Structure 1
Amino acid sequence: MDPHRAGSVAMEQSSPAEQQSNAQDQSPARPEDAGGPWAVTESLRLRRFLCYGSESATYSTRERALGPENALALMELVQAGRGQEVVEEVKRLSLEGKTVRPNPALFALAVCTQYSDAPAKQAAFRALQELCKAPGQLFTFIQYKKELKDGLRCGMWGRGLRRAVSDWYNGQDALSLAHTVTRCKHRAGWSHQDLFRLSHMKPANDSIELISKYVTKGWKVVQETYAEKESSEELLKVFAYLEAVEKAKHSTDEQEVVHLIEEHRLEREQILTNHLKSKEVWKALLKEMPVAALMRHLGKMTADKVLVPGSPEVAAVCERIQDDQALTKAKTHPFSILVASENYKRGHGKRGKRKWEPSRDIVHALDSAFCKSLSNVEPTGKRFVVGVDVSASLSSLALGSSVSTIAVAAAMSMVIARSEPEAEVLIFSEGAMVPCVISDDTSLIQVTAQLVQVLSAGTDCALPIEWASENDKTVDVFIIFTSNETQFGSTNPAEVLRTYREKTGVFSKLIVCGMATNGLSVADPDDRGMLDICGFDSRAVDIIRNFVLDVI
């Protein structure tokens, strides 16, 4: 890759301030060089925080509580009167789908609304309507404001927040709002009733007024007010929907609940726990259940005999799991399917209380879906070297996904090799470096078999970089998969990477995935081209892509 092209790509993804800084020096440089391409800037730290909740060069599957103390760049920018820039960055990353965790963006908006910068405050409240798609996110935002109120010594329920909350409810279609308030009633210590009351909300129309009365006064008052009242078609639909939810909540008749689910498309969250013990109720829910939720509940439905071998339900599930259009529309990543498949094949829940005999048809459908979803992965166009460390056993579970580390390494190696035009996969340990052959018809089992052939003591993450240097390979991104905290060999991987950059003139990046550890210390904190990942989950997949494409 031409270094000038790499610099151009980085500038396209960076903020205007960073573009000006990077334009001063487009030659390979050490991170400590002022304005160099690898300098960790304030804007980069903000983007890291918004993406995964930490300003450091380490992503952990263990989510930590958010506060001003771990969002220093955010706080500095807002205090410096640059809150509007922060809001624009929150909107950009969120709307482009670059924030793998939603809470940091909500926290950032809450911070912007707690300062006296009026334009930033107004922008943050406007963004709330656009970015908060689910009530749980709105509740979380309100809770962050409450937590910040004491620390920043400022108010909370002012005119701006009351208007923003009212607009959030009034801005929705009435039938969608009825679904919203009955599906997720409370979270983070807040409820819809709290928000309706504290925001002094004035409903925008009769249908939303009905919902407001339902939330604040209850179903009995709604019945007394609207049962005999002449109403519009929309209001009648909202009334009928809420009536269905209430009937399902109080009915003791299994068939009536099934009928309500099918007629009104009620979801699992709107059904009482007692009814969720019914096979017929689950069969009804199954018909409209999103594929992601379906894959999460495969074990439970098999254990509860909802999915019985040879049944129409199993046939329907297998068809939906393998549906090409559904996989493409949902942009389902192969790793997400791998997690569902491994959890199902295990035959028991996390704590082992629920057990089942995996259906061969469902297992085959999941394997097929994994292979089909490989074609959904968009290439980055970068040149990769993937190194899989086999110096220790890869049989432990990856933190964050309950999948074996060898399955993670095999699946991700396969994803990168199949989606990127230029990618090489290496199996390495101390004193050994073996290529892993992955073609278009190589199966996951075959890739896994290659990873267990070489075992030796000693981990040295610099080996794949040294191999690339010795063999004159031009590499944009090195990704290392290892189980635990690595021990440096004769050289530090960060130093070896910098030497490689100087030799090739390529702004190469390094990602080290410690799949079974809570702590890594390979990445140089002052080098934006290095990233540590502790554990491995579906979010890590998106973080890797963001990092490769210079988003973070």
Structure 2
Amino acid sequence: MPRDPLASITTHATPQTQRIPGRTDQVRNAAGGYVYPKDTWTRLEDFLILGTTGGTYYVGEDKLTAENAGLLFQAIAEDGPRVVQLLTDISTARPPRAPKNRPALFALAACHAKGDAATRQAAKDALRKVARTTDHLSTWFGYLKNLGGKQTSRGTAPVVGSALRNAISGWFLAADVDDVAFRACKAMQRKTPNGEAFHLRDALRIAHPNRRRGAGSRQLLDALDRRVLLGWITGNVPDDFARDELPVVDKFLTAKAVTTPEQAVRIVTEARVPWEFLPDAMLREAIVWDALVDTIGMTALLRNLARMTRLGTLKPLGDATRRAVARLTDAGAVHRARIHPMDAWLALRVYASGRSQPNPRADVHTWKPVPAILDALEETYDLAFGTVEPSGKRLLVAVDSSGSMSGTHYTIGPVIVGGSPIGSPYEVGCAMAVTLARIEKGNVHVIDVDTTVHTSKVTPRTNLREIASWRPSGGGTDLSLPFAYAQRERLEVDGFVVFTDNETWAGRSHPSQALTTYRGSINAGARTIVAAMTATGHSIGDPHDDGVLNIAGMDASLPLVVNGFIRG
């Protein structure tokens, strides 16, 4: 009997290199498989959390960045104030949802440059919330010049109008005067993303806050300390007068006059002078860092653990080590400091490596990691997610271990940070899986998938340091496997969590088809969370399925979202 070609058409099992019959909404991913496009706002959220640094295995950094920038402009045209609200929520969340603030600053600059009047007003009001440091402000200003500036004989200049003046004025006027003074003393000058010098003095000359007409601005400028601060920044108020009116400036000038480690320790411990104000020479002294262990901010502590170990401040059984461990494992302090889990993960990776080289021309720094600090950093990582109660549900967590998740030419975030690698998407996915396993305790089973299912090493007891030595299986990608595996093994799970770049192509059926089959035979209410590790704009999750949720894989709120969504 001749073969009937129509019999090969089915909605139950379609090769991933073909569209599911009737699903004209599917798009082709970079690997040649068909997946579902994400909506504008989900894609924008991915961009704001994941960024585009390094590109992906299939898509270069420049192309990925251009695609996400185009998406951003589309979203601004559709609903600019909504864009501002979303980027503000992500940037200011506690814990912060994104490991880096630059995508939010870029989006804010785009809203100011490309938005309508309502969008620009919202962007103006958001600047002081999103740009919380001089570095943030200079980054935003550089992006703004690129997006809305004008070409001159000397480069690109900002288009100065009332919107820009009001936005920058708000940065200087809205915050408490001591906060602004601290920002200024900590960093009076930074560079824009293009490497141009940006000085707060120049920002004030653009803003002219003394000319603002609003009643609130007049009231703020009537205060002597505010006028003194702004005058000191622009160089119109002498140091002696400024220090008499502003305690922060007094501490800054006192710190700059320090010439011995003993003086530095005294002003840090007695006068509570911020460490950022000390001369560089004092920050090469072990005795100074012994005093700073108790006073520097949590983020600064994370970033300087290697330096303190190299100088001998941190050592096994040392008192400074004990105090550092106490701070790193203080849940309240971690939460107040807005530590993102990836900050703790990076600190752990860098510290455990025992080696860094900030740039190719710099000297290589080495140190011997202190085990107690490594253990404390593991706890910092867990604490950074906040308090999350177990859901009590059964979860199958699948980490995509295919070649595109482990490519050595790109990583999540910069390839090298401070001279040390942060790791591949596969490693970050495993680290997130460890967190879910620890929270849910015995209710999580983790697998690796490429074109077959592999046993994962992840358990609630997994040491995060181990992950750096793991090697993914590599090969092709078939993301129908988590659901097919659960059906074949008759696993009754309440939810699936898949960490992936969504570049699936190798399966004989689509992931959404395999999920439907699983629900039909094992658990009709099983839900799925697809955690994207790259901002590529597509997903294996069917957008018409209310039981499927897309989320950025490095979102610090992921455990809480998993808990709530799987519970229904």
TM-score (norm 1): 0.71
In the TM superposition, what whole-angstrom CA distance separates every residue of 1:139-169 from its partner, at most 9, and x where no partner exists? 3332232222247999721123212322321
Task: Provide the C-alpha distance between the structure 2 equivalents of 1:456 and 1:425, rounded to a whole number of angstroms.
Answer: 17
8 A Cα contact 1:384 1:477, kept in partner:
yes
1:395-474 residue pairs with structure 2 within 5 A? 399-400=412-413, 402=421, 408=428, 411-420=431-440, 422-427=443-448, 433-434=454-455, 438=459, 442-444=461-463, 460-470=478-488, 471=490, 473-474=492-493
Are positions 1:306 and 2:313 aligned together? yes
3-state DSSP of counterpart to 1:274: helix
Q: 2:208 aligns with which of 200, 203, 214?
A: 200
Q: Secondary structure at the match of 1:71?
A: helix
2:120 corresponds in structure 1 to 121
The answer to whether 1:162 aligns with 2:165 is: yes
1:415 shift after superposition: 1.2
**Is 1:176 matched with 2:153?**
no
| Aligned-partner Cα distance in 1 for 2:380–2:556 | 19
Which letter does structure 2 place at the counterpart of 1:419? Answer: I
What is the CA distance between 1:479 and its match in structure 2?
A: 1.6
Q: Which moved more, 1:338-347 or 1:272-281?
A: 338-347
Identity %: 25
**How far did 1:114 drift?**
3.4
Q: 2:475 and 2:113 mapped to 1: Cα distance? A: 54
Q: How far apart are the structure 2 equivalents of 1:71 and 1:394?
A: 25
> Where in structure 2 are the equivalents of 1:257-272 lying within 5 Å?
257-272=264-279
Moved more, 330-339 or 254-263: 330-339
Q: How does 1:24-423 map to 2 (within 5 A)?
A: 32=25, 40-53=38-51, 70-79=68-77, 82-96=79-93, 97-114=96-113, 117-150=116-149, 156-187=159-190, 188=192, 189=196, 190-202=198-210, 203-217=221-235, 221-223=238-240, 226=241, 236=244, 238=246, 240-327=247-334, 329-330=336-337, 336-350=343-357, 353-367=364-378, 376-377=387-388, 384-388=395-399, 399-400=412-413, 402=421, 408=428, 411-420=431-440, 422-423=443-444
Query: What is the CA distance between 1:135 and its match in structure 2?
Result: 2.8
Question: Matched residues in 1 for 2:376 and 2:72: separation?
Answer: 45
The unaligned stretches of length 5 or more in structure 1 are 1-28, 228-234, 534-538
Measured after TM superposition, the shift of residue 194 of structure 1 is: 0.5
Conserved 8 A contact 2:64-2:536: no
What is the TM-score with the length of structure 2 in the denominator?
A: 0.69
Aligned partners of 2:87, 2:469: CA distance in 1, in Å?
Answer: 43
Native 8 Å contact 1:438 1:447 kept in 2: no
Shift of 1:126: 2.2
Distance 2:509 2:286 in 1: 60
Alpha-carbon distance, 1:215 to partner: 1.1
1:457-512 residue CA offsets vs partner (Å, 9 max, x unmatched): 87644322211233264554332479x98772545556645765787475634346
Indicate the SS of the match to 1:478. strand
Inter-partner Cα distance in structure 1 for 2:60 and 2:559: 20
Distance 1:144 1:363, change over 3 A: closer
Q: State the 1:216 CA deviation.
A: 1.1
CA distance in 2, matches of 1:65, 1:132: 27
- Once the two structures are superposed, residues 363-386 of structure 1 have per-residue CA deviations (whole angstroms, 9 ceiling, x without a partner) of 444456567778834557876321
- In the alignment, residue 84 of structure 2 is paired with which amino acid? V
How many angstroms does 1:207 deviate by? 0.7
**In structure 2, distance between residues paired with 1:425 and 1:116:** 44
Q: 1:39 to 1:267 in 2, by over 3 A?
A: same
Alpha-carbon distance in 2 for matches of 1:305, 1:530: 48
Look up the SS of the partner of 2:556 in the other structure: helix
How far 1:356 moved relative to its partner?
Answer: 1.6
SS of residue in 2 equivalent to 1:466? helix
**Which residue identity is paired with 1:144?**
Y
> 1:513-544: per-residue Cα shift (whole Å, max 9, x none)?
5xxxx9989845995968798xxxxx824385
User: How many residue pairs align between the two structures?
Assistant: 494
Structure 2 CA distance for aligned equivalents of residues 519 and 116 of structure 1? 23
Distance (Å, rounded) in 2 between the aligned partners of 1:139 and 1:399:
24
Q: Structure 1 residues 164 and 424, CA, compared in 2 at 3 Å: closer, same or farther?
A: same
CA displacement at 1:213 relative to structure 2: 2.0
Are residues 415 and 261 of structure 1, via their aligned partners in 2, closer, same or farther at CA, if it must alter by over 3 Å? same
1:214 counterpart SS class: helix
Relative contact order, higher structure (CA 8 A, sep 6+): 2
Aligned AA (1:356): W
Give the SS at the match of 2:482.
Answer: helix
SS in 1 for 2:355: coil
Alpha-carbon distance change, 486 to 350 in structure 1, aligned in 2, over 3 angstroms: farther
Q: Once the two structures are superposed, what CA deviation does each residue of 1:378-413 show, in whole Å capped at 9, x if it has no partner?
A: 557876321246789989896547356686555433
RMSD of aligned Cα (Å) = 5.0
Secondary structure of 1:104's aligned partner: helix
1:75-94 Cα distance to aligned partner (Å, 9 max, x none) = 335446x4334334444444
Which of 484, 498, 502 aligns to 1:479? It is: 498
